Amino acid sequence: MAKISMRVILKSGVEFTTKCDKFTLTRNGLDQVTGYNISGITENKPVYLDFEQVAAIVRVLSDEGGEEAAETE
């Protein structure tokens, strides 16, 4: 299975990218993100992440081979 790259950008401007097999978010009744589950991590495993400080979470297709990765999903 190809690894996916997820970039987490904090409100402070700090960002990091993690490579994993699967990335899922947990949401509450107001559709706010309250947690996450990452499996098959090979790079940059977060130990703790305060979602009050997260500005964005984006998938980085360029790290995965660009359009080729999008076509195989």
Mind spelling out the 3-state secondary structure of 10-52? ECCCCEEEEEECEEEEEECCCCCEEEEEEECCCECCCCCCCHH
Q: Are 43 and 19 within 8 A, CB to CB?
A: yes
Q: How far apart are CA 55 and CA 57, in angstroms?
A: 7
The model's confidence at residue 70, banded by pLDDT at 50, 70 and 90, is: very low
The model's confidence at residue 68, banded by pLDDT at 50, 70 and 90, is: low
* DSSP-derived pairing of the beta strands 33-39 and 54-59: unpaired
The pLDDT tens digits of the residues spanning 23-58 come to: 999 999 999 888 889 999 999 988 888 888 999 999
